[in-house]
Amino acid sequence: MSRAAAAFALVLGCAVQFCAAAQAANPADCWALHKHGHVAQSEACFELLTRSSNAYERAEGFWGLEEWEQANAQFRLAAQGPDAKPMVKVRWGMLLHERFNDPDAAGLFHEALEKDPSLAKAYVGLSLVSAESFDGRAEEYAAHAIALDPKLVEAHELTAELALTNDDHMVAAAEADKAMALESDALDAMAIRAALKLIADQSPEEWFAKIHAVNPGYGEAYALVAHQLELHYRYEDAITYYRKAIEADPRLWAAHSALGIDLMRLGEQSETYQELELAYNNGYRDAETVNSLRLLDSYKNFEMIRDDSTVLKLNKSESALLSPYLQPELHTIIATYSRKYQMTLPGPVQVEVYPNHEDFAVRTMGMPGLGALGVTFGEVVAMDSPSARKPGDFNWGATLWHEMSHVFILTATNHRVPRWFTEGLAVHEEGAHSAEWKNRATPDVLVAIRDKKLLPVIKLDRGFVYPDYPAQVIVSYFQAGSTCDFIAEKWGEGKLLDMVHSYAKLATTQQAIQHDLGLAPEEFDKQYLAWIDRQYGAEASHFDEWRVKLRELVAAEERKDYRSVLQNGPAVLALYPQYVDDANVYELMAEADRVLGDSKSEVTILAGYEHVGGQSPDALKRLAALESAGGNDAEAISTLERVNYIYPVKDEDLHRRLGELLYAAKNYNGAIREYNALIASNPVDRAGAEFALAETYFAAGQRDKAQDSVLAALETAPGYQPAQKLLLELEEPSAKRN
Ligand SMILES: [Zn+2]
């Protein structure tokens, strides 16, 4: 008899013959029931356990009855004393893991291992904790568990699940089969098999039928499948399977919460709220549930701005300022990608912009390797507002081009695209739109190139999901992006679209590269690495020298030795010209030029900074001021327009200066946009801003709007003479200016 069947028989015994069952009840069996979703049937059994004279058994009983606090207290009691079995700590750790306390759970697993280093289940626990945080050690722990106990079913099931997350389908299938060979009713292994079928667009029904035959109430199987679909960007399918999980086991609160969160990702609100609240009210209060409910509550501070093809969801405090920038940009992006990818989107795109980074982080919780700045769920994009970040940290324009590429590619492939490719293409598109937004080799990337840490293309996904070292996610974005740059350069942009179409037909990366580029992935890797070496090899090999010399340059600047900065700067710059982050040579030299009064040289170095993608708003605004002072208003305008993509918020000075320059250049539409942004920035001189806008409307021939603005100026400052004069002019029917 299998474990689950034996336990099931035991429960029936329990229900019929209480006293005998109380003697026979084995906590491990009850736990097996618990794990296999027999909670309702086994309630009597757990009830009996809570009355045991053994604290550990009472803990299992309360756990089975979902009385978490009591279970925790009994575990604490059971774990006391020098004779307590280390396994008690493992089970206690599992309870804490289930109840969202991974730090303490990990502590208990380690304590258990100190007492008994051969405890395979403690490694399973550590693996579960690692998988939750995507810290890269989950597979190692699971492998350790298997090495200690090759017959540990749950270790094989976990290894299969981790492999599937990494799209390693062969290992996933093999490990699931091992689990089933050890235990014919290994339900999670069957669920992995079902997920593999779904991911390959085949019917999973035979596996669900098997699961159903063992335990019709095992909702976890559907939830496991749903979670895998979610990790493969298939949110609508994930919703379908979370619904099935709840149908099988209406008390599966984790599935209620996950369903709510996926509905929220796709822009649904009322059912989201119901599901999350249900989970919350039943004690399922993990960070994702709690924070998502809080986020839903904050939606009252947002407003929706719609047109035919776009929906902007913006915080009311900044929607007037941001929507005039975001909406036209979104239209340009949609037109560009529709042409490039030869497709139209099925409906409007919703873009949500969060001024509070924590709110945005809630939208992306539990999503590995995603969510640094923006994230895409089907036709919904969520991103940080520029106001959520430090000025210069973030370019909302580049982020929007990036995320919108995902929207198109996920739609084009019906969400069947590997992570590396959709990320790579999105990064490539940023650079294709503007050379200044191009994928830059950051110090982490140069070190990875130098240390030969780039991954083979068919293994690139794992760099995003289970990074081996902290910077690997960033390095993987670079590698994926530069891989697409390389393909576009060597084979042409069209090949990238061919690969999109191959993925839509479920090709693997191996097949797509072979079919569309006509070479084996190993040969592709060789050519790619040679190309990388030509582009970055010198910089990578000089990296340490650069770092030492940059430090010397910073020291020279600190002791105000500006001549030395200017003398040595160019050589340091030449070692690594792409570096524009903290303490970059461009800004150090510009500072030296400024102090020494050489504005011509300062403009040159700052323009260099701008053209490699430097994004400090202060440095760029200084450049614009110098360009303007040097009589080059056109350059000043384009510099300030770059700042608008970086930090258009909390900066009335930016909008005033750009408005004046655009007005002088007779670009009235641009000036109107900027003066409106100035007013939305709550300027100190509000009447002056309204008057400037009125003058611009007047110059543009929009008399009605000019009148509205001049009246607004006079309402703010009734005695404002230039405004009174303009109002008189406007009331003169034949008035003409300019
Ligand atoms: Zn992305």
How distant is the alpha carbon of residue 608 from its chain centre? 31
What pLDDT is attached to residue 43?
Answer: 77
Q: How confident is the model over 622-632, as a mean pLDDT?
A: 97
Q: How confident is the model over 151-174, as a mean pLDDT?
A: 93
What pLDDT is attached to residue 232?
Answer: 85
What pLDDT is attached to residue 375?
Answer: 79
Is residue 2 scored above 60 in pLDDT? Answer: no
What pLDDT is attached to residue 464?
Answer: 86
How far is the centre of ligand 1, averaged over its atoms, from the C-alpha of 16 (Å)? 57
Cβ neighbours of 1 (radius 10 Å) = 8
How far is the centre of ligand 1, averaged over its atoms, from the C-alpha of 404 (Å)? 9
**Tens digits of residue pLDDT in 298-345:** 889 999 999 999 999 999 999 999 999 999 999 999 999 999 999 999
| Beta carbons of 461 and 383 less than 8 angstroms apart | no
Q: Looking at per-residue confidence, does 664 or 297 come out higher?
A: 664
Specify the range with the lowest mean pLDDT, choosing from 180-189, 370-379, 597-606, 679-688.
Answer: 370-379
How far is the centre of ligand 1, averaged over its atoms, from the C-alpha of 402 (Å)? 6
Closest to 112 in 3D by CA, of 92, 128, 129: 92
Is residue 586 scored above 90 in pLDDT? Answer: yes
- DSSP string across 51-79: T-SSHHHHHHHHHHTT-HHHHHHHHHHHT
Distance CA 427, CA 401 (A): 9
Distance CA 714, CA 32 (A): 77
Is residue 7 scored above 50 in pLDDT? Answer: no
What pLDDT is attached to residue 9?
Answer: 27
How distant is the alpha carbon of residue 227 from its chain centre? 16
What pLDDT is attached to residue 340?
Answer: 95
What pLDDT is attached to residue 27?
Answer: 53
Is residue 32 scored above 80 in pLDDT? Answer: no
Distance CA 684, CA 506 (A): 58
Specify the range with the lowest mean pLDDT, choosing from 10-14, 19-23, 200-204, 587-591.
Answer: 10-14
How far is the centre of ligand 1, averaged over its atoms, from the C-alpha of 376 (Å)? 7
The percentage of the chain sitting over the pLDDT mark of 70, rounded to a whole number, equals: 92
**Tens digits of residue pLDDT in 595-616:** 999 999 999 999 999 999 999 9
What pLDDT is attached to residue 29?
Answer: 59
**pLDDT band (50, 70, 90) for residue 1:** very low
Is residue 82 scored above 90 in pLDDT? Answer: no
What pLDDT is attached to residue 28?
Answer: 56
How far is the centre of ligand 1, averaged over its atoms, from the C-alpha of 363 (Å)? 14
How far is the centre of ligand 1, averaged over its atoms, from the C-alpha of 231 (Å)? 14
For residue 344, what are the contacts with CB-CB under 8 A and spacing of at least 6?
338
What pLDDT is attached to residue 18?
Answer: 32
How far is the centre of ligand 1, averaged over its atoms, from the C-alpha of 406 (Å)? 7
How far is the centre of ligand 1, averaged over its atoms, from the C-alpha of 331 (Å)? 20
What pLDDT is attached to residue 269?
Answer: 83
**pLDDT band (50, 70, 90) for residue 369:** very low
How far is the centre of ligand 1, averaged over its atoms, from the C-alpha of 439 (Å)? 13
How far is the centre of ligand 1, averaged over its atoms, from the C-alpha of 633 (Å)? 36
Cβ neighbours of 16 (radius 10 Å) = 10
For residue 265, what are the contacts with CB-CB under 8 A and spacing of at least 6?
235, 363, 377, 378, 380
The percentage of the chain sitting over the pLDDT mark of 90, rounded to a whole number, equals: 78
**Tens digits of residue pLDDT in 456-482:** 999 999 898 888 888 999 999 999 999
Distance CA 286, CA 291 (A): 8
Is residue 619 scored above 90 in pLDDT? Answer: yes
How far is the centre of ligand 1, averaged over its atoms, from the C-alpha of 138 (Å)? 24
How far is the centre of ligand 1, averaged over its atoms, from the C-alpha of 475 (Å)? 13
How far is the centre of ligand 1, averaged over its atoms, from the C-alpha of 110 (Å)? 36
How far is the centre of ligand 1, averaged over its atoms, from the C-alpha of 403 (Å)? 6
**Tens digits of residue pLDDT in 442-459:** 999 999 999 999 999 999
| Beta carbons of 457 and 451 less than 8 angstroms apart | no
**Tens digits of residue pLDDT in 391-401:** 998 999 999 99
How far is the centre of ligand 1, averaged over its atoms, from the C-alpha of 454 (Å)? 19
Q: Looking at per-residue confidence, does 738 or 340 come out higher?
A: 340
Residues near ligand 1 ion, CB 5 Å cutoff: 423, 426
Specify the range with the lowest mean pLDDT, choosing from 244-253, 453-462, 728-737.
Answer: 728-737
Is residue 39 scored above 50 in pLDDT? Answer: no
Q: How confident is the model over 499-523, as a mean pLDDT?
A: 96
**Tens digits of residue pLDDT in 522-548:** 999 999 999 999 999 999 999 999 999
Cβ neighbours of 168 (radius 10 Å) = 19
For residue 79, what are the contacts with CB-CB under 8 A and spacing of at least 6?
88, 89, 92, 108
